[in-house]
Amino acid sequence: MKEPTPSISRPKYQQAAPGASLLKKTFVTIASASLLTGLGAVPAAQAAKPDEAKNLVVNGKFDAGTEGWRTNDANTEKLSVRKYAQGAVAELRTTETKTAVLNDITNTIKSTEADASYTVSARVRTEHPGIWGQLRTRIVGNGETKIVGESFGLNDTSWTTVSFDLTVPTSGSTVDLNVLAWSLDPSKNLIIDDVKLVERDAASTQPVPAPVEEDPKGPATVEEDPKGPAPVEEDTQKPEQNTDTPAPIQPEPIDKCDVAPKTDRTLFGVSLGGSTTGAKETFAQSMARQDANYDDTEVVRLFDPGMPVSWSKRAPYIEDKTISISFRPDPAEVLTGQHDAALLNWFNAAPSDQTIYWTYFHEPEPKIAAGEFTAAQYRAAWARIAKLADQACKPNMHATLILTGWTANPRSNRDWRDYYAGDSVIDVLGWDPYNDATSQEGPKSYASPESIFGNVVEISKNAGKPFAIGETGTRLIPTDPNGTQRAEWLKDVARYLDNEDALFVAYWDSKTFADFRLLDSASRDSWAGIIDGKY
């Protein structure tokens, strides 16, 4: 919590990407009529070539240039086609950092039959590693939009095949097909080829697209084609449909050991904090004090400075609570494997009947900036520990990355994905935003929840991850000595974060260089009521 959180209104934040090298299927339902706009008449698609008779995608190999394709914004997203003797590939670029979308001009499927099944696939690569995106379909019908997609991360320049199966439950729906590059930098590109959507019966008889070594269109690096690229053909057609911002995508469970966290409402709680008298407390005493202060808190935020403390020492005092716990062994030590056995034992011994959000090394940004370890080491250590958690197979435990609130602010010049070990590792995005975390003089006002939490909410939702607030808080302002204004601000925060579907919110009821504790009765009673669902 030792970084600033400026109290400013957030700017529009471009859709962010899960930075994963593994592919991950995602799904969301949006009951909103506004997403049905822009689906009117469009130019009729040309018939597929005979050798693509079972492929419903128009010009999926881009042999006809950009025909059948467009971007969502011709002014900032640039679509071109490179032609070679062996075939053609499409290229997406941008004029500013933003999500670029390759969009079918006419919805690939105009009207479905109930329970129709398809296989969707495409090949993607980049000449500038570090690209994240998604192959997705938008199913529109019966007043709602459903998205099924497969995320990808490109960490080298080789071709990657992305594919997933799609079943449309209702008849009469349309299916829109897109390939997205999340937060694409103008200096980078996404190259796309062999976009297919085939009926499942037909798909079962077709082989999976061959890896690049067997690709009849030539080598992975397209510039190596001896005939070189043909003149670029840019798509100049203005968007005619489906121009809405890509909807956030919620991940589906992968298996019984990776169940997406879910709550009927946002849960609220506190950190254990420190004794108001300054006397040392045992864990049992601290927990009893906070339960008395807040009438049995729902969530407890725990911190271990090194390896996690044994469950046997804490379990009797935290029964029936949602637990947010972080531990901080050095990444270099983790990567040697020296902590593997102890960590696996810790995961195995964890309670199975409580929701546990576990975090490896919360707020790593300052440590990385100071050179204590690298972002790559941090991500690799996360991945190693997550594999141990997978071995324990505890569906009630969720890997939660917790970053500072400042990192989500564009003024920080940070990219949250630098610390993100990938979709297959991280289950929940956690954040620590404050109302003025670090100034010596303290806050002069209680900033609006939107200005404090808006960036982290938008990043999390655009990344397709559930989110939580691992820490938050505020000191009293000069005009509020009795805490009555803070008490109302706390309720505003609770309503805002509950409305945005935060999984949990923990108040930083602690004293560091400054005092964030809720010592006045107005603030304490307010937070106790919030924990009890009264806000």
Q: Which residues are catalytic?
A: 363, 471
Which residues, 6+ apart, have CB-to-CB distance to 341 below 8 Å? none
Strand-pair partners of 78: 93
Which residues, 6+ apart, have CB-to-CB distance to 278 below 8 Å? none
Token reading at 47: 């018939």
Q: What are the Cα distances from residue 112, in Å, to 117, 168, 299?
A: 10, 7, 46
DSSP E strands, 205-349? 250-251, 267-271, 299-303, 322-327
Assess contact for 131 and 188: CB atoms under 8 A.
yes
Find how far residue 258's CA is from the centre of its chain.
16
408: which DSSP letter?
A: G
Strand-pair partners of 93: 78
DSSP helix/strand/coil, 96: coil
477: which DSSP letter?
A: P
Chain position carrying tokens 């050179």: 371
Assess contact for 126 and 183: CB atoms under 8 A.
no
Token reading at 56: 């419903």
Euclidean distance between CA atoms 222 and 234, whole angstroms: 18
DSSP helix/strand/coil, 196: strand
Q: What is the CA radius of gyration of the chain?
A: 25
C-alpha closest to that of 178 among 71, 90, 47: 71
Assess contact for 182 and 15: CB atoms under 8 A.
yes
Give first-to-last CA distance, the chain, whole Å: 25
Find how far residue 322's CA is from the centre of its chain.
22
Assess contact for 416 and 15: CB atoms under 8 A.
no
Euclidean distance between CA atoms 199 and 174, whole angstroms: 14
Euclidean distance between CA atoms 278 and 265, whole angstroms: 35
